[in-house]
Structure 1
Amino acid sequence: MITITHITMTGQNVPDATVHFGPNLTLVRGPSDTGKSFIVDAIDFALGGSSLKDVPEREGYDRVQLGVRAGSGEVFTLVRATSGGRIGVYEELLSERTVAPPDFTLASKHSATSEDNLSRFLLGEIGLDDRRIRKNARNETDSLSFRNLAHLTVVDETQMQSEISPVLTGSYTTGTKEVSAFKLMLSGEDDSALQPILSTTERTRTRAAKAEVIESLIASLELRLDTTADRPELLDQLARLNTSIDTHSGALSAVVHKQSEAAQKVSEAQGSQISLRRRFVEVNALRSRLALLETQYASDLARLEMISEAGDLLGFFGTGVCTYCGSPLSGEHAREQHSEGADAAESISAEIEKTRSLRVDLSATLNDLDTEIETIREEHAAGKAALGKLESELAGVDEELQPSKTTLQELTKAKATVEKGLALYEQLEELRQALTAVMADNAKEVAIAAGSISYTLLDAFSREMSDLLEKWGFPDSASVRYDRADQDVIAGGQARAAHGKGVRAILHAAFTVALGQYCVNNGLPHPGFVVIDSPLVTYRPPDELDPTSEQADSMPSDLASRFYDSLQSSVGVQVIVMENTDPPEGVPVGATDVVFTKSVFGRYGYFPLSSPPKALTSGPS
């Protein structure tokens, strides 16, 4: 058996997206659209699935890295490009992107003749390599692929709630192999001893079975067409609907043009408002800078005037008597010894005049800026009022447009209904033409495969499943069993498919977990892990339900707590659960708890939040 240690998405210039899993129960919980179901899909893809969901958050990520621990204790990381191709295998656990080459690579597609593929590698790790399973009623067999087991251990939300049996995927061509793989899990014995049946009688019987299927499809189509008008009338309706649609489309185009013009005016008015706000910010910033300069000019003038006054008081700038010797300032004495004071006085006077002139010019500029700021405010207020009027006019055009749109939508819907009826007639004609040439009844082959599973094995597995449901507190758990004839889980005397989706999900979860526990208890090969998506999300306590609703057969309200406690304490395989709701009693001790919040608090989701929310700013209003 193997366990999954982590799943990582990596790419160039994007942060790694990683979730680590515990050896027993791991609960990944949080609101919708946080990547929980994508994790299930990514695990399946890393294990050989055909494709990976293309969600917006995946942009920039180009690799899936799945950490795996084998029963021997060896560890591996399976690395697969999101575009597909060969899988790189690193003999270490890597939860970060690496540029180092892998230790070896494996093909993604199973091959019976080569061990150089992921399927054979995984089957070898769980002890199921080189096994064969029946693929049709003629006892022909096929090499067991890991993909034949994947749906028994990795179950997405759609499968969980589906009416299709947990043993089957719903694929028309693989039902026999899927039942045979289930038998292999229960018994440990493959179908390699089967001898193919190639008689003419068998081929004739196959053709008859094909005819039966086509006849049943024809009967189903005829039943659906019982309440539908005949083909000529539908063709007439289609012609009249096309004429009405053309007429309404013409009338609608004029109103749409009017709406487009109104929207353009609103857009232009909004652009003008944005331009005014930007100009306001620019002018206001310039006004602030010039105000600082005006303050500096005032300071400079005060300083220069103080120096001039001080010089006059002390006689430094006088022209009569020398302040140093008391002699008259004349002749050589004035020119050579005592002229410095007069020169300084002249310089200070010139600087004062220059600064006063600059200050006058600056004052005029400030007045101009104040006038412009006031003008911007007035234009903004007027523009805001005009924008409100334009938006009201646009709303009026929208109201005028709505009835015409509604009528056109109704006509288009009616046309789609008519075209659907015509398509049914075309299908019916094609089936009638193919009745003698195309014959297939794969259901008989599946029944043959199912009949090969012994009742003893099914009884033992059913007990495992009912015991597990009893631990969960499921009503009448002792009656739950897997029925060979119906190829489905039976609960309360009804097939799983007949129950509401809440019960279907719980029963599918029980089937999947019980199969792993059954294999462990009986020493049989099993992948070693179970991944189930939303087994409890549709559950509601009975007193919250309309008794006529699909969920009216919901389980007791303590089932969720008992469900998680059981998975942590008494299941012999690793269980990974994706769920929207929180456990009522909290996560069991020892379990791994991964919480997504879809907010800036805590972990947003599987993929890191691309950018933090930005604060909103505004100009004048």
Structure 2
Amino acid sequence: MTELQLTHLTYASSNMPPAQIVFGPDLTVIYGTSDTGKSFIVKSIEYMLGGTDLTMVREADGYTQILLGLLMPDGSPLTLVRAPESNSIHLHNEDLRDQVIRIPDRTVTAVHSIRSKNSLSIHLLRALGLDEILIRKNEAGGTRPLALTDLVHLSLVTEHRMIGQLPPVLRTGTATTRTAELSVMRFLVTGEGDPSVETGLNAGQRRVHKGQIQLLDQLAADLSSKFTTQENDRQLRDRLIRIRGALEDQSGPLRQVNESHSEAIDSRMDTARELAVIDERLTEVSDLLSRFRLLESQYRSDLERLAMVNEFGSILGYFQIGTCVFCGAEREHQHPNHSVEETTQLHIAVEAEAAKTSALLEDLLPTITDLDGEQTVLINRRVEAQSQISVWDQIIAELEGGIALIRSDIEELVEERSAIERDLELHKRIAELDEKRSSLVGAGAVSATRATQHIPTNILGDFDSILQQTLNAWQVPGVDHAEYDQYHAEIRAGGRTRAGRGKGVRSVLHSAFTTALARFCMGRDLHHLGFVVLDSPVVTYRGPEPDEVPDVELTSTVVDRFYKDMLTFPGQAIVIENGDPPTKVLSEATTYHFTGTGGQRAGFFPTFLR
């Protein structure tokens, strides 16, 4: 499907500088000080798209034209020009961003009327391919054409509606428009409009329909016999929420025990690795001690032999007259004192070798002492590590017992949840049969307790999934099991209605619903205006108010995650907030910072700069 895109909002006058905001094609964020015209921008856009009332602010005095730039589905520009308090809108098929004095290409009425064929609603809906869509307007099945305002309130949310208790689907909250407003929601998520009322059936058709009705009644009776409880759909849903809450409560301790179990296993593995290192080192030390002690024994043996050589040299014949035992010279060839000199040299050599061996032994002994000490430490550490492994084994066994007990409780809850889900599925199938039966019987056969516009269960489930994914992406606390309750036109999350939550959560739920609806439609090639405008979507730091409902506390994480998610929004998004967006948004989105003072842009109107 094709969509619209907002390009700019401009206030123009012949004697005043224009006040203008240019919107980016993706995300535009306008933030800053209060009373600088931020919310007035949203109201002005709504006014330009067919709104009936715009309360002008003092700073707008003197401006005679309001311009809203659009990109049409075919990519062509269109500028809407409207004067304050006027019901006429001039259309210009070009991009104009200052006071317009030329003749318009066309003039249309701002407010949609069935009797008028020349309204802005018809012009834009025709461009969107929606000019022939009919929606149901009453219980009897009467229809009317779709109007632009039916779609605008689902894309543009003012601050008042953001925090209000009226459900996002409803535009006025009156009983006379409720059926049409529900029909618009059904059309958006299904892509199917409502048929016009047909004439009654002939006799043959009535007989066929009667047989079909009887068959549907029999099927519904067969399904009803399979119920395991007498609870109705709402009671089952409430019990399912309680069981899911109990499962969530159990999952917390289970996660903690699992984490403790994992930590114990990791600690045991660390200790086992330490024990392996100790054993490896102990083996090395034992081997070195064996070798060094053998070397010590060898050194001591060498010293003993050298002492014996020095002491018993003469006994061995080293000093006898005759052939020199040292050099082999015969007596006649020996010079005087030859024997004395050779004996002295032998003594010196023996002493030198003994000194060398003694030095080596002195170096070796401290090493042996150190290795002995290290071996003792390693043996003690080994005993301690083995003891720690035994302790961890005991802890792991106890934790595994605790895990088994918790899992047993969880399995019982899961079985109960499965039984409820089966009953709910039976209720859905019976509701589908009833819906088919009602369509055969006629509008008068519809139960007073059932909504006139039924969204098929599978489609509604897909939308609920997108809604929950959006809230999960924003990390909003206390809003699990979010869903759109089509029978009450309400948003439910965390077991409570949106109307029963505090203003902060109401704002977040309304924002999530609006963006989820846009994502759902765009992702399935369904009709949507193509943009969302959100005024104060994440009211996180609002001060306490007397009528505030106690609720969960939203943190800055919600704000950061909201903006991160909006950077991936598939269409055009315009966000109005007081607080500063994250740095990443400032660098990737189109942003305007209204300060209310000089130095930067003070506000929407240039008069803020004076």
The TM tier, using the shorter chain, reads 0.5 to 0.7
1:594 aligns with 2:596: no
Q: Is the 8 Å Cα contact of residues 63 and 82 (structure 1) preserved in structure 2?
A: yes
Query: Which residue does the alignment assign to 2:160?
Result: 158
Letter paired with 1:454: P
Query: Which residue does the alignment assign to 1:251?
Result: none
Q: Is the 8 Å Cα contact of residues 26 and 573 (structure 2) preserved in structure 1?
A: yes
Aligned equivalents of 1:611, 1:534: Cα separation in 2: 21
Letter paired with 1:170: T
Q: Please state how far the C-alpha of 1:482 moved relative to its aligned partner.
A: 0.8
Residue segments in structure 2 that go unaligned for 5+ positions in a row: 201-446
Structure with larger Rg? 2
Aligned equivalents of 1:79, 1:503: Cα separation in 2: 37
Query: Which residue does the alignment assign to 2:561?
Result: 562
Q: Give the SS at the match of 1:602.
A: coil
Aligned equivalents of 1:479, 1:168: Cα separation in 2: 22
Q: Is the 8 Å Cα contact of residues 508 and 539 (structure 2) preserved in structure 1?
A: no
1:192 aligns with 2:195: yes
1:603 aligns with 2:606: no
Q: Is the 8 Å Cα contact of residues 454 and 486 (structure 2) preserved in structure 1?
A: no
Q: Please state how far the C-alpha of 1:131 moved relative to its aligned partner.
A: 1.0
Q: Is the 8 Å Cα contact of residues 24 and 573 (structure 1) preserved in structure 2?
A: yes
Q: Please state how far the C-alpha of 1:104 moved relative to its aligned partner.
A: 1.5
Q: CA RMSD in A?
A: 2.5
Query: Which residue does the alignment assign to 1:583?
Result: 581
Aligned equivalents of 1:505, 1:532: Cα separation in 2: 10
Q: Please state how far the C-alpha of 1:550 moved relative to its aligned partner.
A: 3.4
- Which residue among 473, 487, 490 is the counterpart of 2:489? 487
Aligned equivalents of 1:103, 1:166: Cα separation in 2: 36
Letter paired with 1:515: L
Q: Is the 8 Å Cα contact of residues 62 and 83 (structure 1) preserved in structure 2?
A: no
Q: Please state how far the C-alpha of 1:83 moved relative to its aligned partner.
A: 1.9
Aligned equivalents of 2:199, 2:45: Cα separation in 1: 36
Query: Which residue does the alignment assign to 1:13?
Result: 15
Query: Which residue does the alignment assign to 1:73?
Result: 75
Query: Which residue does the alignment assign to 1:324?
Result: none
Q: Please state how far the C-alpha of 1:598 moved relative to its aligned partner.
A: 0.2
Letter paired with 1:188: G
Aligned equivalents of 1:7, 1:155: Cα separation in 2: 17
1:175 aligns with 2:178: yes
Q: 1:554 to 1:193 in 2, by over 3 A?
A: farther
Q: 1:447 to 1:118 in 2, by over 3 A?
A: farther
Aligned equivalents of 1:612, 1:593: Cα separation in 2: 18
Q: Is the 8 Å Cα contact of residues 188 and 521 (structure 2) preserved in structure 1?
A: yes
Q: 1:104 to 1:170 in 2, by over 3 A?
A: closer
Q: Is the 8 Å Cα contact of residues 37 and 578 (structure 1) preserved in structure 2?
A: yes
Q: Is the 8 Å Cα contact of residues 539 and 551 (structure 1) preserved in structure 2?
A: no
Aligned equivalents of 1:100, 1:54: Cα separation in 2: 25
Q: Which string of whole-angstrom CA distances, capped at 9 and with x for unpartnered residues, describes residues 264-295 of structure 1? A: xxxxxxxxxxxxxxxxxxxxxxxxxxxxxxxx
Bigger mean CA offset, 476-485 vs 92-101: 476-485
Q: Please state how far the C-alpha of 1:145 moved relative to its aligned partner.
A: 0.7
1:496 aligns with 2:498: yes
Q: Give the SS at the match of 2:469.
A: helix
Aligned equivalents of 2:31, 2:606: Cα separation in 1: 17
Q: 1:446 to 1:168 in 2, by over 3 A?
A: farther
Aligned equivalents of 1:516, 1:137: Cα separation in 2: 28
- Which residue among 463, 466, 470 is the counterpart of 2:465? 463
Q: Please state how far the C-alpha of 1:555 moved relative to its aligned partner.
A: 2.5
Q: Is the 8 Å Cα contact of residues 27 and 593 (structure 1) preserved in structure 2?
A: yes
Letter paired with 1:174: T
Letter paired with 1:557: S
Q: Give the SS at the match of 1:479.
A: coil
Query: Which residue does the alignment assign to 1:56?
Result: 58
Q: Is the 8 Å Cα contact of residues 534 and 578 (structure 1) preserved in structure 2?
A: yes
Q: 1:82 to 1:448 in 2, by over 3 A?
A: farther
- Which residue among 83, 99, 102 is the counterpart of 1:100? 102
Q: Is the 8 Å Cα contact of residues 602 and 609 (structure 2) preserved in structure 1?
A: no
Aligned equivalents of 1:71, 1:589: Cα separation in 2: 28
Q: 1:455 to 1:194 in 2, by over 3 A?
A: farther
1:418-567 equivalent positions in 2, closer than 5 A: 449-475=451-477, 478-539=480-541, 550=549, 552-567=551-566
Q: Give the SS at the match of 1:181.
A: helix
Query: Which residue does the alignment assign to 2:137?
Result: 135
Q: Please state how far the C-alpha of 1:192 moved relative to its aligned partner.
A: 2.2
Q: Is the 8 Å Cα contact of residues 480 and 494 (structure 2) preserved in structure 1?
A: no
Q: Give the SS at the match of 2:549.
A: coil
TM-score by length of 1: 0.55
Query: Which residue does the alignment assign to 1:376?
Result: none
TM-score by length of 2: 0.56
Q: Is the 8 Å Cα contact of residues 166 and 508 (structure 1) preserved in structure 2?
A: yes
Q: Is the 8 Å Cα contact of residues 134 and 449 (structure 1) preserved in structure 2?
A: no
Residue segments in structure 1 that go unaligned for 5+ positions in a row: 198-444, 614-621
Q: 1:551 to 1:529 in 2, by over 3 A?
A: farther
Aligned equivalents of 1:134, 1:123: Cα separation in 2: 18
Q: Which string of whole-angstrom CA distances, capped at 9 and with x for unpartnered residues, describes residues 146-184 of structure 1? A: 111111011100100011100012341311111111111
Letter paired with 1:591: A
Aligned equivalents of 1:54, 1:111: Cα separation in 2: 25
Q: 1:71 to 1:165 in 2, by over 3 A?
A: same
Query: Which residue does the alignment assign to 1:417?
Result: none
Q: Please state how far the C-alpha of 1:503 moved relative to its aligned partner.
A: 0.2
Aligned equivalents of 1:567, 1:610: Cα separation in 2: 31
Letter paired with 2:491: V
Q: Which string of whole-angstrom CA distances, capped at 9 and with x for unpartnered residues, describes residues 345-389 of structure 1? A: xxxxxxxxxxxxxxxxxxxxxxxxxxxxxxxxxxxxxxxxxxxxx
Q: Is the 8 Å Cα contact of residues 75 and 92 (structure 1) preserved in structure 2?
A: yes
Q: Is the 8 Å Cα contact of residues 529 and 575 (structure 1) preserved in structure 2?
A: yes
Letter paired with 2:21: V
Q: 1:611 to 1:184 in 2, by over 3 A?
A: closer
Letter paired with 2:533: V
Letter paired with 1:168: L
Question: Percent of aligned pairs with the same residue?
Answer: 38
Q: Is the 8 Å Cα contact of residues 2 and 71 (structure 1) preserved in structure 2?
A: yes
Aligned equivalents of 1:69, 1:502: Cα separation in 2: 34
The alignment of Structure 1 onto Structure 2 pairs a total of residues equal to: 361
Q: 1:498 to 1:37 in 2, by over 3 A?
A: same
Q: Which string of whole-angstrom CA distances, capped at 9 and with x for unpartnered residues, describes residues 546-572 of structure 1? A: 9x963641334311111111111x221
Query: Which residue does the alignment assign to 2:151?
Result: 149
